[in-house]
């Protein structure tokens, strides 16, 4: 499933949540959640931490990226442990395609890159293996 990591996380009124000088994006949320150190991590294997690392590095690149069902499950679980209700809810909406079958790339509006014009940002990116 392809997910647009450049999608902004929206506040309850539909405005982008700000992150410093820019908008908080799905990619930033995924990267932060994967890199976060939480109490449960003392029981997480090194192999699992490497999976977190690879997902974080991939998410940091932004763009539209393919995710496996297992990776999306891991993202949802991790974001749910690190963030509050607003961000968790918005991440689930993006991943689940807001009721459509596109997996977060719901329509032309969602394909707009940060410059605001289709194709003005980076194109689809390959993920780390």
Asked, for residue 33, whether it belongs to a domain, the answer is: yes
pLDDT digits (tens, 9 = 90+) for 52-89: 999 999 999 999 999 999 999 999 999 999 999 999 99
Asked, for residue 126, whether it belongs to a domain, the answer is: no
Asked, for residue 83, whether it belongs to a domain, the answer is: yes
- What is the spatial distance between Cα 23 and Cα 81, in angstroms, rounded to a whole number? 22
In this prediction, the residues of the chain whose per-residue pLDDT falls under 70 are 98-129
Asked, for residue 113, whether it belongs to a domain, the answer is: no
Asked, for residue 119, whether it belongs to a domain, the answer is: no
Single pTM value for the model? 0.75
Question: Which secondary structure element, helix H or strand E, spans residue 3, and what is its range?
Answer: strand 2-4
- What is the spatial distance between Cα 73 and Cα 111, in angstroms, rounded to a whole number? 23
Asked, for residue 121, whether it belongs to a domain, the answer is: no
Domain of residue 7 covers 2-107
Bridge partners, 26 (sequence order): none
Asked, for residue 114, whether it belongs to a domain, the answer is: no
Q: What is the pLDDT of residue 97?
A: 84
If one counts the domains in the chain, the total is 1
Asked, for residue 90, whether it belongs to a domain, the answer is: yes
CA distance to 17, 35, 88, 119, per residue, from 72 (Å): 22, 16, 13, 25
């Amino acid at each position: 499933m392809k997910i647009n990591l450049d999608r902004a996380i929206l506040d309850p009124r539909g405005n982008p949540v700000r992150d410093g000088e820019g908008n908080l994006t799905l990619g930033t949320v995924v990267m932060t959640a994967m890199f976060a150190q939480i109490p449960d991590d003392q029981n997480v294997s090194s192999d699992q931490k490497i999976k977190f690392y690879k997902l974080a590095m991939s998410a940091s690149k932004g763009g539209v990226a393919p995710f496996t069902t297992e990776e999306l499950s891991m993202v949802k679980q991790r974001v749910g442990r690190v963030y509050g209700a607003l961000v968790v809810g918005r991440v689930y909406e993006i991943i689940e395609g807001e009721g459509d079958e596109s997996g977060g790339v719901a329509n032309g509006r969602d394909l707009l890159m940060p410059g605001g014009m289709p194709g003005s940002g980076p194109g689809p990116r390959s993920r780390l293996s």
